[in-house]
Amino acid sequence: MSKITIDGKVLEVDPKRTIIEAARENGIEIPHFCWHPKLSVSGNCRMCLVEVEKMPKLAIACATQVMDGMVVHTANPKVVNAREAVMEFLLINHPLDCPICDEAGECKLQDYAYKYSEGASRFDESKVHKPKRVELGPHVMLDTERCIMCSRCIRFCEEIAKKPQLTFTQRGTHVELTTFPGEQLDNPYSMNTIDICPVGALTSRDFRFKARVWEMSATETICPGCSRGCNMYSWVRNNEILRQTPRYNPEVNDYWMCDKGRLESFQHVNVANRIKHPMMKKDGGLVEVGWDEAIAKAASELKTFKKSEIAVIGSAYDTNEDNYLLQKFASEVLGTKHIAFVRHVVEGDEDAILVKADKTPNSLGAERVGVRSREGGLDYAGILKAIKEGSIKAVFVVDDNIAVDSAVADALSRLEFLVVNFSFENETTRLADILFPTSTFAEKNGTFTNFEGRVQRIRPSVSTLDQDRSLDGFAMSRLDKFGSQFDRWAKGAKRDARPTWKIIAGIASLMGAKYKYNTAEDVFNEIVAHVDGFKGMSYRKIGTMGMMLRQKETVAVKA
């Protein structure tokens, strides 16, 4: 280890570190634009200039390696003067777009202009004008005038996405960011360039002009798009998800997230065809009914079938809590041995960065908590065969549109009784005798277990009638301002959906079970007590980074 001094503070640091890395690891901020902890050093913004004693001139902290005995000053008059000069230079041709810029509120240039700039410019000539609203690719829009040439986006494409698609052209003040001739920014991770852009040069074509950062709540949760389980923030305004962005977790997804996960994994939450109330088949069609009536009907009908005539289909899209209670209900209340779930693996649709072929977030978790046939029971293929043969007459399906396969739809249509839990209308819900609206991943608490065996928390970012938290963070902060008018809007916007575990607990109670669960955490605590791989866990310990299943208990699942 090397001993260095930064602003009078003596530190012991790894001699392989640069000054900016050593300072960051010890809670000392050195402002920077072009440096990023996961990208190579370019050293072209000069914002991180510091004074190192015995060096003839200021050094850039991002490219200067520490040495034993080094004394560094990050805020003396010489450094402050240089930093102000850099900011003045960067702002000379920068447009005054803050009022209309999507980056406002989370813009590093904006923050540094307040913190490190003089607040005035001596430049009174016409600014250099460059192309605006340039469609770099299907998901990214470029405003070239805002670009400060930090090259983060270029290095990301080359080093992380492994697809060099961006470059600089021209010289001096006329430098422009652009794609290579005949190319567009269309790699599967292109939207990460938006996150790492320190200004508003690169923006999302999907999110563009929809909201400002201070108008939204940001909830720490997990992407349900594949078995990787990328950590992310879900950004919500007016009870609607507007965007999803990656959340740093070095053990799972680092700073990154694929474009598909950002844009597609939340669309089913906002769709218009959400199931808003429980429904029951009457006179050949589904009609809305109350929760008590639907639950009572499901319980009474399930009682009429023999144990061997009932099958349960869990879901790798559901949480550990949902699947655990489903298999417990199946075994202890229904008494069936026929329990299964469907794996949704798309062979070849994966890469060496993040994307996995298993397109569900919880295959390993569903298996580990017990969603599998008991001794003498049938697997998924066996259940379908038994339905066609008439030996299975009732099925309980949760949160998986299995009838999208026409052969499965044909089999389900032969059943005497079909209960379906789902959040929106689809091929499976249309066949249901009783249909329960379930909360999506964005509307409930729970845990997913990714392909490596890491158990991670999901948290509600969108409100439903069943939640303890009735409004999202944005709504809560605006109640005093908008008063009763806002409260009336919020009541109309919320959906009458419940998490699967709560629906199952309600049915089980009417069938004689003594389930006493008030929250998803209550169910998880029972998982911890009864499933070996989860022992020692709790919601608090899982926190924001997750916990690994016990290694000796981990079962390999094709990802």
Residue-wise pLDDT tens for the chain (559 aa)?
A: 899 999 999 999 999 999 999 999 999 999 999 999 999 999 999 999 999 999 999 999 999 999 999 999 999 999 999 999 999 999 999 999 999 999 999 999 999 999 999 888 888 889 999 999 999 999 999 999 999 999 999 999 999 999 999 999 999 999 999 999 999 999 999 999 999 999 999 999 999 999 999 999 999 999 999 999 999 999 999 999 999 999 999 999 999 999 999 999 999 999 888 999 999 998 878 999 999 999 999 999 999 999 999 999 999 999 999 999 999 999 999 999 999 999 999 999 999 999 999 999 999 999 999 999 999 999 999 999 999 999 999 999 999 999 999 999 999 999 999 999 999 999 999 999 999 999 999 999 999 999 999 999 999 999 988 764 433 343 444 344 333 433 433 444 468 999 999 999 999 999 999 899 999 999 999 999 999 999 999 999 999 999 999 875 444 444 4
- Structural domain harbouring 506: 279-470+495-548
The bridge status of strand 417-422 relative to strand 434-437 is parallel
Sheet holding 59-60, edge to edge: 9-13, 2-6, 71-73, 49-52, 59-60
Last residue of a domain, one of 76, 91, 106: 91
Instruction: Establish if 296 belongs to a structural domain.
Output: yes
Distance CA 295, CA 302 (A): 11
| Closest by Cα among 110, 286, 338, 101 to 202 | 101
Burial 335-360 (b: 16+ CB within 10 A, else e): ebbbbbbbbbbeeeebeebbbbbbbb
* pLDDT given at position 491: 45
Instruction: Establish if 359 belongs to a structural domain.
Output: yes
Instruction: Establish if 513 belongs to a structural domain.
Output: yes
Instruction: Establish if 14 belongs to a structural domain.
Output: yes
* pLDDT given at position 328: 97
Total domain count for the chain?
A: 2
Last residue of a domain, one of 62, 91, 120: 91
3-class SS shares of the chain: helix, strand, coil, % to 5: 30, 20, 50
Q: Please check whether residue 163 is in contact with residue 187, taking contact to mean a CB–CB distance below 8 angstroms.
A: yes
Burial 28-57 (b: 16+ CB within 10 A, else e): bebbbbbbbeebeebeebbbbbbbbeeeee
374: CATH: 3.40.50.740
* pLDDT given at position 272: 87
Last residue of a domain, one of 48, 74, 91: 91
Strands (E) in 147-292, as ranges, are: 166-169, 176-179, 202-204, 217-222, 231-237, 240-246, 279-282, 285-288
Which residue has 């009638």 as its token pair?
Answer: 465
Contact partners, residue 423, CB within 8 Å, separation at least 6: 268, 269, 274, 275, 399, 437, 438, 439, 440, 497
In 353-405, alpha helices (H): 363-368, 380-389
DSSP 129: P
* pLDDT given at position 63: 97
Instruction: Establish if 535 belongs to a structural domain.
Output: yes
* pLDDT given at position 120: 82
* pLDDT given at position 467: 67
* pLDDT given at position 552: 57
* pLDDT given at position 289: 96
Instruction: Establish if 384 belongs to a structural domain.
Output: yes
* pLDDT given at position 495: 82
Instruction: Establish if 87 belongs to a structural domain.
Output: yes
Instruction: Establish if 17 belongs to a structural domain.
Output: yes
| Closest by Cα among 260, 33, 17 to 153 | 33
- Residue 379: Cβ-neighbour burial (10 angstroms; 0-12, 13-18, 19+): middle
* pLDDT given at position 182: 92
